[in-house]
Amino acid sequence: MAKEGAPEKLIIDGKRLDGRDFETFRKFDLSVHVLKRSNGSGTFAFGNTRAIAGVQGPRELHPKFLQDPRNAVLRCRYMMAPFSTSDRIRPGHSRRGTEISKVTTDAFMSVLCPEDFPKTGIDVFIQILEADASTRCAGINAASLALADAAVPMKDLIASCSVGKVEGHIVTDLNGPEDMYGDVDFAVSMIGDTDKVVHLQMDGVITRDELSRMLIMAHKGCSEVYKNMKAALKAKYSSNVEGE
């Protein structure tokens, strides 16, 4: 049963409403080291979904009882700017924001080397500036760039993307209408281009067989995101090496 406002069809003749193939991403836009008062920063966009992240730290952690004498404490906070969605979001805590913050922190803990900075805190602030689905994935990617830019020791970058099921077809990188009116939204993050899943959330109903296929698409998608993130990091500093 169609939801109010749903387009009649989301897939026409094997192409999505915005003209993409099933496995094609929206346009990537990445930048590194954009916030001067943060230790490291980055932005990441999938089409009209845009996230910015800044790292403060490693720095002294307060209150003191939160300090871990052997390790750094990582805290990622995800929030959406009030103007990021078409209806304004009231600023402040939200349960969704709290949950996404937790799964984001857990994802980065899998690659962090916290023993290199005992007793410190590393705070990552992620803000979604424009939301058109796959926001938590854009947030995680922006945070990866920011942590690398801040020289926070990590075994690898974390790459994130969404996969979905729309009118029976499995597709990569859901946009707003596909997320809202489609059947399944599967947000996944992996260590680099490996097959190690550090974050996975799925809404919707899939068969056991579809699970296998979506995991394969997810791995391909995350690998492509990873390639773009490495290139953006290297491009930022390579240009310095060559000249102005």
Partner 1 sequence: MTGQNYIKKIFSEGKRLDNRKMDEFRKVSVETGILSNAEGSAKIKFGDTELLVGIKMDVLTPFPDTPNEGVLMVESEFVPFASPEFELGPPCEQAVELARVVDRGIRECKAVDVEKLCIEAGEKVWAVHIDINIINHDGNLIDAASIGAIAALLNTKIPKYDAEKGKVIRELGEQLPLKDAPIELTVFKIGDTLFMDPTIEEEDEMEARITMAITQDGNISAIQKGGTGYFTSTEIETAADMIIAKSKDLRSFLK
Partner 2 sequence: MTSTENSEILVKEKQLVTPGDTLAKGLDYLPSAGCYRENTEIKAKLMGLTRIKDRFIGVIPLSGVYVPKPGDGIIAKVKDMQSTIWILDINSPYDSILPLSEAVSDYVDISKTDISVYYDVGDVVYAKVLNVTKSKSVQLTMNDYRARKLVDGRMMKVTPSKVPRLIGKEGSMIELIKSKTGCQIIVGQNGLVWLKGENEPLAAKAIEMVEDFAHVEGLTDKVTKMLESG
* Residues forming the site for partner 1 (CB under 8 A): 3-5, 95-96, 98-99, 101-103, 106, 109-110, 186, 190-191, 195-208, 211-212, 215-216, 219
Per-position DSSP letters for 93-134, written without gaps between them: --HHHHHHHHHHHHHHHTTB-GGGSTTEEEEEEEEEEE-SS-
- Minimum distance, C-beta of residue 116 to partner 2, in the bound complex (Å): 8
- Minimum distance, C-beta of residue 222 to partner 2, in the bound complex (Å): 13
User: How many angstroms separate the first and last alpha carbons of the chain?
Assistant: 58
* Residue at token pair 């749903």: 6
According to DSSP, residue 86 is labeled: S
Work out whether 155 is an interface residue with partner 2 (CB under 8 A): yes
**Residue (53 or 198) nearer to partner 1, CB:** 198
What are the b/e assignments for 25-36, b being 16+ CB within 10 Å? bbebebbbbbbe
User: According to CB under 8 A, which one of 14, 69, 92, 168 is a site residue for partner 2?
Assistant: 69
Give me the phi and psi of 124, to 5 degrees please: -115, 125
Residue 102 binds which one of partner 2, partner 1, none, with CB within 5 to 8 A depending on kind? partner 1
**Residue (43 or 84) nearer to partner 1, CB:** 84
**Residue (41 or 104) nearer to partner 2, CB:** 41
- Residue 14 tokens, joined: 């094997």
User: According to CB under 8 A, which one of 42, 164, 177, 192 is a site residue for partner 2?
Assistant: 192
Footprint (CB under 8 A) of partner 2, residues 80-139: 111, 113, 117-120
3-class DSSP state of 10? coil
Residue 207 binds which one of partner 1, partner 2, none, with CB within 5 to 8 A depending on kind? partner 1
What span, in angstroms and rounded, lies between the C-alpha atoms of 164 and 100? Answer: 18
What span, in angstroms and rounded, lies between the C-alpha atoms of 136 and 116? Answer: 27
- Minimum distance, C-beta of residue 101 to partner 2, in the bound complex (Å): 22
- Residue 136 tokens, joined: 């938590």
Residue 215 binds which one of partner 1, partner 2, none, with CB within 5 to 8 A depending on kind? partner 1
Q: Which residues bind partner 2 (CB under 8 A)?
A: 33, 39-40, 57-60, 69-70, 111, 113, 117-120, 148-157, 191-192, 230, 233-234, 237-238, 240-244
